[in-house]
Structure 1
Amino acid sequence: MWALIDNYDSFTYILLHYLQQAGADCEVYRNDEITLQQLIDKNPERLIISPGPETPLQAGICMSAIGYFHNKLPILGVCLGHQALGMFYGASLMQAPRPMHGKTSSIHHKGQPLFNGIPDPFTVMRYHSLVLDDMDGKELECIASSKDDDCIMAIAHKKFPSIGVQFHPESVGTEYGLQLLKNWVGMY
């Protein structure tokens, strides 16, 4: 079983259905309706942190779940989950150059396995006003960035199986979103 932490986002169940189409067996848990110990007791094989409003520090158990599981199992963070991973590993969070709620961008990627079979560049749907910054010297690598405003669009940890995407792969506005999730499912 894989645990999907729901951060009260309207896209959570679309993300769940995409993950299921990609072959994942997921259970959904609201970020404030399960404790870290209860999540640990469920012994998930993977952790997915959904999009959501607010900031990572206001997202229930997300930061503590990353803290416990980051060196134990693969983690995928989407939008808010991406920001939470970045913050956990020492990146800063800042205002985006402009709000990107329901906006598409073309992004460049660096050809990592997450992007197998996906052209470079490709179009993604963005719903955020915060972005990661200051990753110099951190344990993270930027593996994709937006062409229009040069914001970090995907990160990967250099040692642990933690990956974050700022955009929404589950949105119909994202090209190859299901392929990206299938790639993540098949990576570990």
Structure 2
Amino acid sequence: MNTPATSPRASSTPPPVDGQLVLADGQVFEGELFGAIVPIATGEVVFNTAMTGYQEVITDPSYAGQIITFTTPHIGNYGINATDFESVGTFCRGVVVRELARRRSNHRAQADLGALLFERGVPGIAGIDTRRLTRVIRDTGAIPGAFGTASEAELLAAARAEPGTDGVDLVRTVTTPVGYTIESLDPQSQRTIVAMDFGMKRNIARSLARYGRVEVVSAGTTAADILARDPDGVFLSNGPGDPAMAPYAVEAISEMLGKVPIFGICLGHQLLGMALGASSIKLPFGHHGANQPVKNLITNRVEIASQNHNFAIDAATLPSSVAMTHVNLNDDVCQGIRTMDAHAFSVQHHPEANPGPHDADYLFQEFADLMDAFASTKKAGA
């Protein structure tokens, strides 16, 4: 998934047409369709509270299977460009906004948001009361929905037939089909990091490359294949959906525990937790945005973090050998774990922060330190 994205074209897009968003519970929201105009688009409707970074959000593979509602009322005002893609494409099912900017005002812009969605086949709907919609999701939880040009009855039937992200292996739909390598940005570093791609964003790979050569492998790669590369560390990336639907990844991680340092984020955090013996749970409406407050239980400092997930590790099921290191201050959900016995740690948030704050960037250095300490211990025991 490291192939450069093609430059977005500033081609003309179809004029907006009237449409409806219908939730599975029967609630209807009227608006104007833009982007790819389709009869019916379905997905699990979630809300994202980031104030900027809509292009990075839309191109984040973690949103596979979901319709993204932006709580910021004005979306598209600074356009889009080829540099800010976080993957080779767009994996979300649709985009919902209050007001779509028809003009862009940024010197980096190469096209507008509507052009991007049209070119990539992603439907969008504007003019929606996103404040009301967000309150619905917050009160009832993430809910299947459908929008498009079809009739209200057809959209309701489609919304009720939409399975959402429960019990679906979405990782297979976003992982890289062929492995690739990113050379180290530090010419002095001799480290080799194997990154398991469950839906990895580009800036994560760039962040890892500051500390060594990064070999990205597909989600289904076995532990034997990874360990045969003799890595200094293994990174477990972000990704979409239900971690219980990726038992192959949990198995591979389990077989690597104690043999190599491991660092996981987002879905990778959940998969590591399951490999260590914990269970996963689905949150009512998840954490989606660049302003989530997280407390580091080791330093007692509060960090603002970028997040996107609907599932989490059930802290009550963590074995005694695993310590919880971070907690979400909004709902007390487990945000980080560490086990010194297995030389592994993980966090629920995105430390690479695209988009978002850089409060958690230190975690990459902690991973580098863990790899170095493990290598020293291994050398001393040889």
Bin the TM-score by the shorter chain. 0.7 to 0.9
Inter-CA distance 183–60: structure 2 relative to 1 (3 Å threshold): same
Deviation at residue 103 of structure 1 after TM alignment = 4.8
Report how far residue 185 of structure 1 moved: 1.2
Partner residue, 2:205: 16
Deviations 1:94-120 (A, max 9, x none): 1124222235211111236xxxxxx81
Match of residue 231 from structure 2 = 44
Structure 2 residue 215 is the aligned partner of structure 1 residue 27: yes
C-alpha distance in structure 1 between counterparts of 2:229 and 2:281, whole Å = 34
Equivalent position of 1:127 in the other structure: 308
Moved more, 81-90 or 51-60: 51-60
Aligned-partner Cα distance in 2 for 1:15–1:69: 21
For residues 111-150 of structure 1, what are the structure 2 equivalents within 5 Å? 111=298, 120-133=301-314, 134-135=316-317, 137-150=319-332
Determine the C-alpha separation between the residues in 2 that align with 1:62 and 1:137.
Answer: 20
Larger radius of gyration: 2
Alpha-carbon contact 1:98-1:129 (below 8 Å) kept: yes
Match in the other structure for 1:66: 253
Pick 1 or 2: higher relative contact order, CA cutoff 8 A, min separation 6: 1
Contact 1:91 1:132 in 2 (8 A): yes
Aligned-partner Cα distance in 2 for 1:136–1:169: 23
SS of equivalent to 1:177: coil
Q: Secondary structure at the match of 1:91?
A: coil
Cα distance between partner residues in 1 of 2:367 and 2:233: 11
Letter in 1 for 2:212: A
Shift of 1:60: 7.1
Where does residue 161 of structure 1 map in the other structure? 343
Q: Which moved more, 1:141-150 or 1:151-160?
A: 151-160
Higher strand share: 1
CA distance in 1 between partners of 2:294 and 2:225 (Å):
38
Q: 1:160 to 1:37 in 2, by over 3 A?
A: closer
C-alpha distance in structure 1 between counterparts of 2:339 and 2:276, whole Å: 8
What is the distance in 1 between the residues matched to 2:273 and 2:357? 22
SS in structure 2 opposite 1:106? Answer: strand
State the secondary structure of the residue aligned to 2:341: coil
Partner SS state of residue 317, structure 2 = coil
Q: Aligned equivalents of 1:7 and 1:60: distance in 2? A: 12
Q: Partner amino acid for 2:347? A: V
Aligned length, in residue pairs:
178
Q: Alpha-carbon deviations, 1:27-83, whole Å to 9, x = none?
A: 101113x34432232122211010111333434742222122101111011111100
Which digits, 9 at most, give the CA deviation of each residue in 1:7-40, with x for residues without a partner?
Answer: 134x1x211101112x2221101113x3443223
Between the aligned partners of 1:54 and 1:98, the Cα distance in structure 2 is 13
> Structure 2 vs 1, CA of residues 186 and 136 (structure 1 numbering), >3 Å: closer, same or farther?
closer
Gaps of 5+ in 1: 113-118
Give the aligned CA root-mean-square deviation in angstroms: 2.0
Q: What's the TM-score once normalised by structure 2's chain length?
A: 0.44
Unaligned runs of 5+ in 2: 1-191, 374-382
TM-score (structure 1 length as normaliser): 0.85
1:132 alignment partner AA: I
Partners of 2:250 and 2:345 in 1: CA distance: 15
Greater CA drift, 87-96 or 130-139? 130-139
Contact 1:85–1:164 (CA<8 Å) still a contact in 2?
yes
Give distance in 2, aligned partners of 1:186 and 1:158.
13
Change (3 A) 1:137 1:75: closer
Which of 73, 81, 104 is the aligned partner of 2:268?
81
Tell me the equivalent position of 1:181. 364
